Amino acid sequence: MSINNTEKALAEKSLVALEQSGFDRAACRVSADELHELQAENAEINLFRTNFETDISLVGIKDERKASMSINRVDDATVNDAVADLTAMAAGSSPDSAHDIAPQQSHEIFSGGIEEPDYDLMYDRVSEMQTYAAEKYPLLNLRSTGITFYKRRSCYVNTNDVCFQTNRGLYQVSISFSSKDGTDTSSMMYTGYSGYDLDTPIFEATNVDMLLQQSTEQVRTEHIPGKFQGEMIISPDCLTDFLGFLLGRIGDGSIIAGTSVFKDKLNELVANPMLSIESRPVDDALTGGYWVTGDGHQAMNSTIVDKGILKTFLLSQYGANKTGLDRAVNAGGSYCVAGGDTPYEDLVGSVKEGILITRFSGGRPNDRGDFSGIAKNSYYIKDGKLAYPIQETTVSGNMVDLLQNITGISVERLNFGSSILPWVKVSGITAS
Amino acid sequence: MQIAEIDLGKYSNRFSSYTELRLHENRSQSIVLLNGDVVSNARDTTGGVSARVFNGGTWGFSSNPDMSNDAIDGTISAATRNADFLARRCGNEDAALPLSNASADSDFSTKKTLKTQEEKIAFLTEIDNYIVSSFPDVVSRQVLLSCLDMEKKLQTSEGSNGHNVTTRSLIAVKLTTENENKEPVELSEAIGARGQYEDVFESMDTIIPALDKLYAQLLDKKEAVQPISGYHDVILASDLAGILAHEAIGHTTEADIVRAGSVAADYLNKKVASDLITLVDFANTYEGETLPVPIYLDDEGVESLDAVIIEDGVLKSYMHNKDSAQHFGMPLTGNARAFSYTDEPLVRMRNTAILSGSSSLDEMIASIDEGYLLMRPTNGQADSTSEFMFGVQMGYEIKNGKLGKAISDTTISGVAFDMLNNVSMVSDEMVWSCAGMCGKKQPMPVGMGGPAVKTKVYIGGQ
């Protein structure tokens, strides 16, 4: 991937304008995005899109008063107007000594992925997916299939002599589908992944084919026999819905507000020792990562939960300054959950009565972690076998307890580009 | 150059087939006070030009942030090339779209002098100070101002044109207290309306009653009991009816979702609900009042019309864009909207509401021996099966016709058409919400409204 210095020149020019307007500390990020998208709906390829986008994000701090602004026009007049507005916004704000910008770091250039899209290959992969689905799963309706080539060149600079240039191009693939047989309809399902190439047919990527097959089975569903407390196997497709409570409650908002149930749990056991979670934004295996945090720090990989023990909060520089705790070495995301020692089939085989959940349609958990929601595209498990797809089944529990109640993790993991996740089995779930 | 100054009509001779040319700018502002500290003080202006071209049943789209003459020309050319590429690969020469030719201009910008950032932060601080001085049990509070202005100028090859500016301003307040186990208990409220900040937030007079009500309910929630899971008689309060209309019915009857396999495809002109239910997606006006998200011309240049989805319990129609109207052979409704200049228009709801009935809320509560009054929605989702769910952050038990203890957060669910068939009372009030942000592929501001409704739903819980 080549580096174009256009964004760097614009960022440096904007930074000078911020300094000249009187800011003590300032930062600027300039990004140039390209998007090339091919989309099919209802098994017909029907949209080809090319978007070009620029973005200038400006941050200024004066007398401990901070403001930020984002614009997408790069002419001098627009940038100068934005700097003037930013000055007025900061002047009108309240001082807070926790506001700061990233300290001096060595100038770096990062790049990854591919430079140009291959339109014909994009078309062929989408077309091939339509044909495969139509031939193998006649009940299936591919509601949408999309392949997007997305490229971003970016440069971050600040007045502490930080300069990071980045360049990444990748493909993002998404599909959504449901099945229909007569008047029987399955729930909608969707999945997606990102990668640096399109070498693999879509139906062979991650667990796409398994989901397509399950969708056709799910046109006819049954109620579970009755309310029960049992186990639940969480598919990688919705695992982040259940890990999200922990990962969301260790960030700036909840920790600064003091409302997180994990606020006093650093270096304590918050999950079963089977669970280890890393955030790996700088990992060639994860195409959805990043090299630089939003507040201008070079990102590094980190362990968030190590054998059940919470090893770090996900605090930004502001959050760290505000709480006196350590800044995280990244901004979260790119999560990798360590695989376990049980094959997926054995995980299912070990369940006496439970649910395999593939999509969770739930209300936001409250601050205590209580949750309830609908198990969509899911199965009733009885005596170690997937008995039948289910309808109108609510699962409920507590997210804090759920982490402690992990009873198994699969060997197999799926790489979505944005995360690498296994199947996770938990106990103590109420299904009704 | 500003959008208002650009003449799009002069590009009409550049259109080689059906084309939509749109200038579009979103201007947003966010200020967040967390426990009194300004943790976010941000503005964002994102805009540009987009063109969408129809050729042989396929669409080409392109966008550019630059709105200069050359960039607009180049964007039309790029979209035309993209459509040609697809037409060559998979086009159908017989494909057509319904015609439309409409014009509409609207501008909901304030005519008042704009407030400075300092004045807005001072107002939020006044709210924060009121919370601190008046609500002793609050252990954490967040006050958030969120404003969004969307300006669009459209020209189509069929001659439709318009210049429309929609605005809305919201203040979201989240209060947290602790129960006797020192566990957090929170409750939030969004206060706001169509309009820019200066027109919506003129004084504390409109804010204080909402805050006082929020705190009173928060104190009730400190003592909350878990709802009993299962099917129950419930009253969905008027502030829930909007999300009910949007999530439970609205999405299922968007024509692109119907075409993709929604169960509503099998129910047209059939009885799907109690006679008490009439549900409409209003374009811009209800009983002479301008609604929260007034749309006069959609992003395909179609006049926005009210779409009557359910009338006296019968499913009458769907919401359409040009593609779906052509597919189903139905009239256009003007529901095609795009969130950003980089987005293509999709079938989107505007102001979706269940119409009011004749019962009073007190009568409805008195009619239930054992059940729940549910209020204050959080998030929601719908499905092609018409199964819906949404989160509820406040509610009360009903026992022997009277309100009992508050209940803790829960999720309610059901099959939309079953739930509608079970509606036995509809209240005589009509409450509109401006705070909705729908997430169907692109985010989109939506209005929602309705009365209180008595029905049966499934309540999640232990």
Question: Closest by alpha carbon to A96, among A318, A361, A324, A352?
Answer: A318
Residues 6+ positions from B385 with CB-CB distance below 8 Å: A185, A186, A187, A391, B263, B415
Question: Closest by alpha carbon to B161, among B60, B63, B300?
Answer: B300
pLDDT of residue B82: 96
β-strands B410-415, A277-279 pairing: unpaired
β-strands A228-234, A353-357 pairing: parallel
pLDDT at position A2 over 70: no
Residues 6+ positions from B120 with CB-CB distance below 8 Å: A92, B31, B145, B197
pLDDT band of residue A253 (cuts 50, 70, 90) is very high
- For residue B185, list chain A residues with Cβ-Cβ distance below 8 A: 366-368
End position of a domain, from candidates A161, A186, A217: A217
To 10 degrees, what angle do helices A76-91 and A6-20 make? Answer: 40
Residues 6+ positions from B422 with CB-CB distance below 8 Å: B274, B455, B456
Higher-pLDDT residue of B230 and A247 is A247
Strands, E assignment, B276-339 = 279-282, 285-286, 289-290, 307-311, 314-315, 336-337
pLDDT band of residue A183 (cuts 50, 70, 90) is confident
End position of a domain, from candidates A162, A194, A217: A217
End position of a domain, from candidates B191, B222, B253: B222
Q: What is the pTM of this model?
A: 0.93
Whether A53 maps to a domain, the answer reads yes
- The 3-class SS string of chain A reads CCCCCHHHHHHHHHHHHHHHCCCCEEEEEEEEEEEEEEEEECCEEEEEEEEEEEEEEEEEEECCEEEEEEECCCCHHHHHHHHHHHHHHHHCCCCCCCCCCCCCCCCEEEEEECCCCCHHHHHHHHHHHHHHHHHHCCCEEEEEEEEEEEEEEEEEEECCCEEEEEEEEEEEEEEEEEEEECCEECCCEEEEEEECCCCCCHHHCCCHHHHHHHHHHCCCCECCCCCEEEEEEECHHHHHHHHHHHHHCCEHHHHHHCCCCCCCCCCCECCCCCCCEEECCCCCCCCCCCCECCCCCECCCEEEEECCEECCCECCHHHHHHHCCCCCCCCCCCEEECCCCECHHHHHHCCCEEEEECEEEECCCCCCCEEEEEEECCEEEECCEEEEEECCCEEEEEHHHHHHCEEEEEEEEEECCCEEEEEEEEEEEEEC
Q: Are residues A410 and A265 in the same domain?
A: yes
Q: Which amino acid is at A365?
A: P
Report the domain count for chain B.
Answer: 2
Chain B residue whose CA is closest to A221: B385
- For residue B393, list chain A residues with Cβ-Cβ distance below 8 A: 366
Whether the CB-CB separation of B243 and B435 falls below 8 Å is answered with no
In terms of residues, how long is chain A?
432
The minimal CB distance from A373 to the residues B83, B262, B389 is found for B389
Residue A154 belongs to a domain with what CATH number?
3.30.2290.10
Whether A384 maps to a domain, the answer reads yes
Distance CA A362, CA B412 (A): 9
End position of a domain, from candidates A193, A217, A241: A217
What's the pLDDT tens digit per position in A332-391?
Answer: 999 999 999 999 999 999 999 999 999 999 888 888 899 999 999 999 999 999 999 999
Nearest-Cα distance to chain B for A400, in Å, is 12
Residue B73 belongs to a domain with what CATH number?
3.30.2290.10
Q: Are residues B197 and B277 in the same domain?
A: no
Q: Are residues B12 and B95 in the same domain?
A: yes
User: In angstroms, what CA-CA distances link A245 with A371, B141, B381?
Assistant: 10, 20, 19
Residue B70 near chain A (CB below 8 Å): no
Q: Are residues A172 and A318 in the same domain?
A: no
Structure tokens belonging to residue B283: 């374009």
User: What separation, in Å, do the N-terminal and C-terminal C-alpha atoms of chain B show?
Assistant: 59
Residue B178 near chain A (CB below 8 Å): no
Q: Are residues A158 and A239 in the same domain?
A: no
Distance CA B58, CA B54 (A): 6
End position of a domain, from candidates B184, B201, B222: B222
The minimal CB distance from B379 to the residues A70, A183, A363 is found for A363
Distance CA A147, CA A171 (A): 7
Q: Are residues A58 and A198 in the same domain?
A: yes
Q: Are residues B175 and B274 in the same domain?
A: no
Query: Which residues 347-386 of chain A have a CB within 8 Å of chain B?
Result: 361-368, 370-374, 376
In terms of residues, how long is chain B?
462
Whether A380 maps to a domain, the answer reads yes
Residue A220 near chain B (CB below 8 Å): no
**A72 with B65: Cβ contact below 8 A:** yes
Q: Which residue has the tokens 């008046």?
A: B134
The minimal CB distance from B89 to the residues A82, A123, A187 is found for A123
- For residue A54, list chain B residues with Cβ-Cβ distance below 8 A: 65
Question: Closest by alpha carbon to B17, among B90, B97, B71?
Answer: B97
What's the pLDDT tens digit per position in A71-121?
Answer: 999 999 999 999 999 999 999 999 999 999 999 999 999 999 999 999 999
> Rounded to 5 degrees, what angle do the CA atoms B292, B293, B295 make?
140
For residue B205, the tally of other CB atoms under 10 A from its CB is 7
The minimal CB distance from A42 to the residues B38, B259, B344 is found for B259
Q: Bridge-partner residues for B375, per DSSP?
A: B394
**A48 with B61: Cβ contact below 8 A:** yes
Q: Are residues A137 and A237 in the same domain?
A: no
End position of a domain, from candidates B222, B252, B268: B222
Q: Are residues B143 and B245 in the same domain?
A: no
Residue A263 near chain B (CB below 8 Å): no
Q: Are residues A365 and A290 in the same domain?
A: yes
User: In angstroms, what CA-CA distances link A285 with A281, A334, A420?
Assistant: 10, 10, 9
**Pairs across A and B, CB distance < 8 A:** 235
pLDDT of residue A392: 84
Q: Are residues B186 and B328 in the same domain?
A: no
Distance CA B45, CA B64 (A): 14
- For residue B59, list chain A residues with Cβ-Cβ distance below 8 A: 46-48
Q: Are residues B266 and B379 in the same domain?
A: yes
pLDDT of residue B54: 97
Is residue A210 classed as helix, strand or coil in its secondary structure?
A: helix
- For residue A252, list chain B residues with Cβ-Cβ distance below 8 A: 39
Report the domain count for chain A.
Answer: 2
Nearest-Cα distance to chain B for A7, in Å, is 15
- CA torsion sign for A220, A226, A227, A229 is negative
Mean pLDDT for A236-263 is 95
Distance CA B113, CA B104 (A): 26
Structure tokens belonging to residue B26: 């979103």
Whether A1 maps to a domain, the answer reads no
Nearest-Cα distance to chain B for A421, in Å, is 24
Residues 6+ positions from B126 with CB-CB distance below 8 Å: B204
The minimal CB distance from A49 to the residues B44, B62, B261 is found for B62
Residue B30 near chain A (CB below 8 Å): no
Interface test with A, best of B43, B251, B379 (most A CBs within 10 A): B43
**A257 with B117: Cβ contact below 8 A:** no
**B34 with A73: Cβ contact below 8 A:** no
Report CA dihedral (A309, A314, A317, A318) to the nearest 10 degrees.
Answer: -110
Structure tokens belonging to residue B257: 């979702």
Residues 6+ positions from B212 with CB-CB distance below 8 Å: B134
Q: Are residues A131 and A245 in the same domain?
A: no
Q: Are residues B156 and B177 in the same domain?
A: yes
Q: Are residues B205 and B113 in the same domain?
A: yes
Distance CA B117, CA B287 (A): 36
**B460 with A394: Cβ contact below 8 A:** yes
pLDDT at position A9 over 70: yes
On the CB side of B386, how many CA atoms lie within 13 Å of its CA?
A: 20
Number of H-type helices and E-type strands within chain A:
9, 21
Q: Which residue has the tokens 């200069």?
A: B68
Chain-centre distance of CA B209, in angstroms? 24
**A47 with B61: Cβ contact below 8 A:** yes
Residue B107 near chain A (CB below 8 Å): no
Whether A10 maps to a domain, the answer reads yes
Distance CA B39, CA A23 (A): 18
Whether A205 maps to a domain, the answer reads yes
Q: Are residues A272 and A213 in the same domain?
A: no
Distance CA B25, CA B200 (A): 21
pLDDT of residue A1: 61
pLDDT of residue B462: 63
Q: Are residues A213 and A233 in the same domain?
A: no
User: In angstroms, what CA-CA distances link A235 with A207, A356, A420, B447?
Assistant: 10, 7, 12, 35
Chain A residue whose CA is closest to B121: A93
**A374 with B391: Cβ contact below 8 A:** no
Query: Which residues 212-271 of chain B have a CB within 8 Å of chain A?
Result: 229-230, 256, 259-263, 266
Question: Closest by alpha carbon to A330, among A291, A359, A382?
Answer: A291
Q: What residue spans of A21-61 are helical by DSSP H?
A: none
Whether A259 maps to a domain, the answer reads yes
What's the pLDDT tens digit per position in A299-346?
Answer: 999 999 999 999 999 999 999 999 999 999 999 999 999 999 999 999
Residue B184 near chain A (CB below 8 Å): yes
Q: Are residues B210 and B234 in the same domain?
A: no
Residue A275 domain boundaries: 228-431
Residue B48 near chain A (CB below 8 Å): yes
Tell me the pLDDT of chain B (462 aa) as tens digits: 799 999 999 999 999 999 999 999 999 999 999 999 999 999 999 999 999 999 999 999 999 999 999 999 999 999 999 999 999 999 898 899 999 999 999 999 999 999 999 999 999 999 999 999 999 999 999 999 999 999 999 999 999 999 999 999 999 999 999 999 888 999 999 999 999 999 999 999 989 999 999 999 999 999 999 999 889 999 999 988 888 889 889 999 999 999 988 889 889 999 999 999 999 999 999 999 999 999 999 999 999 999 999 999 999 999 999 999 999 999 999 999 999 999 999 999 999 999 999 999 999 999 999 999 999 998 888 888 888 888 999 999 999 999 999 999 999 998 889 999 999 999 999 999 998 899 888 999 999 999 999 999 999 866
Residue B420 domain boundaries: 230-459
The minimal CB distance from A69 to the residues B43, B64, B185 is found for B43
Q: Are residues A205 and A289 in the same domain?
A: no
Q: Are residues A130 and A243 in the same domain?
A: no
Query: Residue A56: exposed, middle, or buried by beta-carbon count in 10 A (0-12, 13-18, 19+)?
Result: buried
Q: Are residues B214 and B236 in the same domain?
A: no
pLDDT of residue B439: 87
Q: Are residues B409 and B440 in the same domain?
A: yes
Interface test with A, best of B80, B90, B268, B408 (most A CBs within 10 A): B90
Distance CA A85, CA A307 (A): 49
Residue A136 near chain B (CB below 8 Å): no
The ipTM estimated for the assembled molecules is 0.91
- For residue B43, list chain A residues with Cβ-Cβ distance below 8 A: 68-70, 85, 89
Q: Which residue has the tokens 């601080």?
A: B125
Query: Which residues 384-413 of chain A have a CB within 8 Å of chain B?
Result: 391-392, 394, 396
Chain-centre distance of CA B167, in angstroms? 13
**A188 with B384: Cβ contact below 8 A:** yes
- For residue A185, list chain B residues with Cβ-Cβ distance below 8 A: 261-263, 384-385
Distance CA B390, CA B409 (A): 11
Whether the CB-CB separation of A233 and A347 falls below 8 Å is answered with yes
Query: Which residues 288-317 of chain B have a CB within 8 Å of chain A?
Result: none
pLDDT at position A63 over 80: yes
**A261 with B184: Cβ contact below 8 A:** yes
Q: Are residues A257 and A406 in the same domain?
A: yes
The minimal CB distance from A45 to the residues B58, B184, B381 is found for B58
Question: Closest by alpha carbon to B193, among B250, B244, B148, B131?
Answer: B148
Question: Closest by alpha carbon to A191, among A131, A238, A137, A150?
Answer: A238
